[in-house]
């Protein structure tokens, strides 16, 4: 039972089921880190004097370090592929997977956005998904990246019995996937003048980890989310570093008989 303030409202920090309930440490953990990508203007300048002149100089410098553009990042999970194959090269898209990629490409094109780039994992299923999507988005630059390959980002909580990577896999994959997050998920560069629309075609584990990290949710909760093949997850990173999740795993543009996980 939460305490009631003067107007009869229940304070969230006193409700037993609210995230803020309990020790002060819990409230601190829920605080938003405005410099999560190390690009906050205040962190980029170092005043050396404490006087009026220095204050004015800092204000001037802050203006120079202010980001102007918003980044829209579309995280696409690859389409259905051959799960029975032994090697990455053999794990190509199924006929249904190719249909899913067509539908995803059509959906992205229908949004009418001026896409800047398509970055894809170097794994076969992501490359093939990208090739089909790109037919619907002609003249958009395509870039391959090994950092985006599928893996085990961090040991999930709660764990599941049928998927137990070795500690070494978490150690290696986790560092790589975190490096991918830092490369691709951040506020715009200072030189970027207009909003950008960027597509990243990769994998479910990578996308779910990215979402947790971007929203500053506990990253070990990534496995609590499910993403369909060919789904669209849309993240927006504002100039001030605030992040919004516009959609998570959207496949509403696909007929029900085309949906797979």
pLDDT tens, position by position, 99-151: 999 999 999 999 999 999 999 999 999 999 999 999 999 999 999 999 999 99
Domain layout of the chain by residue ranges: 71-258
Give me the sign of the Cα torsion angle 247, 252, 256, 258: negative
Distance CA 79, CA 92 (A): 10
Summarised one tens digit per residue, pLDDT across range 62-77 is 878 889 999 999 999 9
Interval 76-93 mean pLDDT = 95
Interval 3-21 mean pLDDT = 48
**pLDDT level of residue 14 (50, 70, 90 thresholds):** very low
pTM summary value = 0.86
Helix segments in the chain, DSSP class H = 24-29, 41-44, 52-64, 95-110, 124-135, 167-184, 204-214
In the chain, count H helices and then E strands: 7, 6
The class level of CATH for 71-258 reads alpha beta
* Contact predicate 202/76, CB 8 Å: yes
Distance CA 206, CA 185 (A): 12
What six digits make up the tokens of 202?
Answer: 């990769």
pLDDT score of 25:
52
pLDDT score of 115:
99
pLDDT, averaged across the chain? 89
Interval 88-104 mean pLDDT = 97
* Better-scored residue on pLDDT, 24 or 246: 246
**pLDDT level of residue 18 (50, 70, 90 thresholds):** very low
Summarised one tens digit per residue, pLDDT across range 158-183 is 999 888 899 899 999 999 999 999 99
């Amino acid at each position: 039972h939460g305490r009631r303030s003067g107007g009869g409202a229940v304070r969230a920090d006193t409700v037993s089921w609210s995230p803020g309930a309990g020790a002060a440490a819990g409230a601190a953990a829920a605080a938003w880190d405005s410099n999560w990508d190390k690009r906050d203007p205040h962190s980029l300048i170092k005043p050396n004097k404490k006087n009026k002149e220095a204050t004015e100089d800092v204000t001037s410098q802050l203006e120079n370090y202010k980001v102007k553009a918003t980044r829209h990042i579309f995280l696409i999970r690859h389409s259905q592929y051959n799960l029975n194959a032994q090697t990455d090269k053999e794990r190509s898209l199924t006929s249904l997977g190719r249909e899913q990629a067509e539908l995803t490409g059509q959906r992205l094109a229908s949004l009418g956005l001026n896409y800047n780039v398509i970055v894809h994992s170097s794994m076969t299923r992501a490359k093939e998904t990208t090739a089909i999507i790109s037919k619907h988005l002609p003249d958009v630059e395509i870039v391959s990246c090994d950092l985006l390959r599928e893996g085990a980002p961090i040991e999930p909580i709660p764990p599941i019995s049928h998927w137990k990577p070795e500690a070494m896999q978490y150690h290696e994959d986790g560092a790589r996937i975190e490096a991918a997050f830092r490369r691709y998920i951040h506020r715009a560069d200072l030189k970027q003048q207009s909003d950008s629309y960027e597509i990243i075609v990769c994998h479910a584990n990578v996308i779910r980890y990215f979402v947790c990290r971007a929203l500053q949710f506990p990253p070990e909760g990534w496995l609590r989310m499910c993403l369909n093949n060919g789904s669209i997850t849309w993240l927006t990173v504002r100039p001030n570093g605030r992040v919004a999740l516009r959609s998570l795993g959207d496949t509403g543009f696909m007929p029900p008989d085309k949906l797979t996980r």
